[in-house]
Structure 1
């Protein structure tokens, strides 16, 4: 009995000591993470214009109006929000697969035992990832300017560069125009959802957005390459050698042996890619400000513009929380898609 009470007392002391040790971290997280989120959530339920404190009785409480206006009110605010969702959706659909495939390909190259100068290539591939995104965006902005290098190359092959990059149409619309479809079919132009016609939803990314996509894929692939490379170097080489003994070629060994073992790293890379692409802001802010014709407008930049330029902090905060829910839903979806399946 005495031993039991002594053990119970020791465990009780350990529990108290544990809470004491984690208390500073919990306090810091509460003050600088949880509390600001709760404050922003309250702001999203008000009509605060940025003057004074949002927690006074003078600030009107509007409830869920800022949220319902984004989906149910037929006005310019909803159209801008849905336009930003469309633009960001095409951005995600292109950036996440491209940066994942490129990162995995670079990691496979660097993991090759016969490659010479691995340190140089590893540094060269990773260097864009550690460079300031704002600085690289400014460089790209000069390259795509009217007198920049990209437009000079396009002019050399007979393409009007400035006009090409300022085209407000998406790539799908441009391609259809090249084959003679100049106007939207009635079935797509007369019907739609959430403030945009089906023709607008199916426009594809603009040329300006594709330039930003190119920049982001180039600057983010290095980070994910390091993750894949670390995972590849921790894989047991005996499995690959067993595949060679069984007569499997290089593609079969990669598809059947290497790739399944990279599932946890793949989940991490895709999750980080989804979060980063839905939150894209700095490249948009520096390079385009949502132009031309709102074809590079994204929810993160729209939230900033609504709050800090239009002084509608309630709607700006509401856009941020809707964006948060979108990220959570897509993260759960890709987690379900990449889950470990029994029998495989």
Structure 2
């Protein structure tokens, strides 16, 4: 009887380690992906649809009865000569000057505070760090109400100005632009009768005189408030980066005879470049989204000189019940922030990336002659 040979059984195919790790990773992040999709991505898509309609807030925006207008809400903000474009361009002008002042001011102040509290010989470091950071964790609404009392007509600021013989302005009712006030104070132009060449015309419905107004006096109070409350957070970022700089670099620069200003310029600031990029990017995004201070302190007044795109979007949608135009303003603001952040990243990118990386680099220059030894290094050489 012939023996029957059975073929060897093939081992069951098993998933590779890489595939199992991928599956396990997706299982772990699946709850977060679902939550972000439901509460972030889906509302963004819904808001985008609303920006293409003429929905008035009644019922569902996905009903067939809701008029579909396409990109009319967007073109109305740039091409049509009406009140909607005038308000939007006014808000862009106000926010542009707001960003132009706040971002550099809060960055410089935060870096300066970080350098101060990072000194080794400073006594009471914990107290100063807490004092500088305390405004950042305080409610912005509470601080805004406090500033309303401080900058009122009979508030502490005007009282201090009167003590030194200066008549303080009505801060929250003064719609004059700061640049107009400065030019008028030196006699270059008359703010009451500006040059006809600047008032004859301008882009997007605003005259050149309006574009060159600068932030209003009322907007300056909001700028002071925001710089004071946001510098503490950025100070902590700079402080963490300063403490990561190796002490040997500073000691080596001191032995080479570098002054404190030279150490700051050639050692500290290059090491802080990634943190500086982060601070500037966060400051740029936050300043284009300013809302709560404007809502509490001014409501866009006086004469719309504190009106910002974020507050205009809220006002158009929830007060005028024009949700389509309000959503369109928010998406235009979103695109503007993305473009400005990308431009800032391009400006602050590394030199190697700026040259293309693979481009042929020029030959390095010859090394400079050795510098004369400092008194400390010369004394060490004599001891040796």
The TM-score by the shorter chain falls in which range?
Answer: over 0.9
Pick the aligned partner of 1:325 from 323, 335, 352.
335
1:1-344 matches, within 5 Å, as 6=14, 8-157=15-164, 159-161=166-168, 163=170, 165-180=172-187, 181-182=189-190, 183-342=193-352
Please list every run of 5 or more consecutive structure 1 residues that lacks an aligned counterpart in the other structure. none
Taking structure 1 as the reference length, what is the TM-score of the superposition?
0.95
CA contact (8 A) 2:98 2:287 kept: yes
CA contact (8 A) 2:135 2:229 kept: yes
1:337 deviates by 1.5
Output the CA distance in 1 between the equivalents of 2:65 and 2:347: 48
1:156 deviates by 4.2
Output the CA distance in 1 between the equivalents of 2:26 and 2:105: 44
CA contact (8 A) 2:216 2:306 kept: yes
CA contact (8 A) 1:107 1:229 kept: yes
Output the CA distance in 1 between the equivalents of 2:196 and 2:203: 15
Output the CA distance in 2 between the equivalents of 1:105 and 1:233: 15
Q: Aligned residues, how many?
A: 342
1:146 deviates by 2.8
Structure with bigger helix share is 1
Q: Deviations over 1:78-117 (max 9, x none)?
A: 0110000000000000000000000000000111101000
Output the CA distance in 2 between the equivalents of 1:165 and 1:316: 26
Output the CA distance in 1 between the equivalents of 2:167 and 2:254: 53
CA contact (8 A) 2:152 2:171 kept: no
Runs in 1 of length 4+ with deviation above 6 angstroms? none
Higher relative contact order (Cα pairs below 8 Å, separated by 6+ residues): 1
Output the CA distance in 2 between the equivalents of 1:187 and 1:285: 35
Q: Deviations over 1:219-277 (max 9, x none)?
A: 00000000000000011111111111111111111100110010110011001100110
1:157 deviates by 4.8
Taking structure 2 as the reference length, what is the TM-score of the superposition?
0.85
Bigger mean CA offset, 163-172 vs 94-103: 163-172
Residue aligned with 1:194, SS: helix
1:142 deviates by 1.3
Output the CA distance in 2 between the equivalents of 1:76 and 1:157: 43
Output the CA distance in 1 between the equivalents of 2:162 and 2:220: 19
